[in-house]
Amino acid sequence: MPFVTVGTENSAPIDLYYEDHGSGQPIVLIHGFPFNGASWEKQVGPLLAAGYRTITYDRRGFGSSAQPSFGYDYDTFAADLDVLMTELNLRDAVLVGHSMGTGEVTRYLGTYGSQRVSRAVLLAPLAPFLLQTPDNPEGVDKSLFEGFQRAIIDDRFAYLTNFCEAFFNYQENKGTRVSEEAFRAHWEIGTRASAKGTHDSVDAWQTDFRGDVARIDVPVLIVQGDKDAVLPYPKTGQRLQPMLPGSQLITLKGAPHGTPWTNPEEVNQAIMEFIGSPTMARA
């Protein structure tokens, strides 16, 4: 199992698990909360078949990566991504983030620039700024995030059930776009995450990305379902697109938050056309 070391805590290394497959232009896929790199299984196969190199990794605290007691903020997450990009010496890379993973993409480009990156894809984005403040009245009240954290402390496993319900719009899509087995698998992956990392990540969701957005200088594709019950479409993707001149917004009608799983054909087609594989997209 390949790992890259991004730091230490006391006597233990902080290692990130990653998978690196294929050849060609590299595409780095950054997963959402509270899952891991395996959540990209419906994208990795088509991308490999189209001749791309795919790199997935598990964010610190999640999946098979180390579970330190600190570092669950976007400055650290972006620094972890930078270590991976540097260690693998990636060039002309496409960064693809889903949900919480879009925060890494946005903060990375805002902090480290685009020397290693040619394009970015944001699926159900967290940016520009989710928290309601005097200068951000479009945001969400802080009490909602505090409620999430109380629920995680009280019963993390019950919280994960509720989260997966919202992630898939499960009552609407079960038996069609998502099976009971897929629901259980996602829940089980979430239970293996760090309890502290699960809790502290809620603080990271309140990050102000507006400064990062202004520094992004690569083409950006935004894809989001208009029935997203986790990151409301009017407060995120719909609001973000005008802040990125030249960006493209694709709205998936009736789609939930977890589109890489529930709407893989539409997501894959959008990515393929954006990165230059229209033949594979049509196929």
Distance CA 96, CA 117 (A): 11
Task: Determine phi and psi for 148, rounding to 5 degrees.
Answer: -60, -45
Q: How many helices (H) and strands (E) does the chain have?
A: 12, 8
Question: Can you list the positions of beta strands (E) in the chain?
Answer: 3-9, 12-21, 26-30, 53-57, 93-98, 117-123, 220-225, 248-252
137 Cβ neighbours under 8 A, 6+ residues apart: none
Distance CA 142, CA 111 (A): 26
User: Of 99, 194, 247, 277, which one is the catalytic site residue?
Assistant: 99
User: Of 15, 58, 200, 228, which one is the catalytic site residue?
Assistant: 228
Distance CA 260, CA 99 (A): 10
Verify whether residue 257 is a known catalytic residue: yes
CB 68 within 8 A of CB 60: yes
User: Of 80, 212, 257, 277, which one is the catalytic site residue?
Assistant: 257
List, by residue number, the catalytic residues. 99, 228, 257
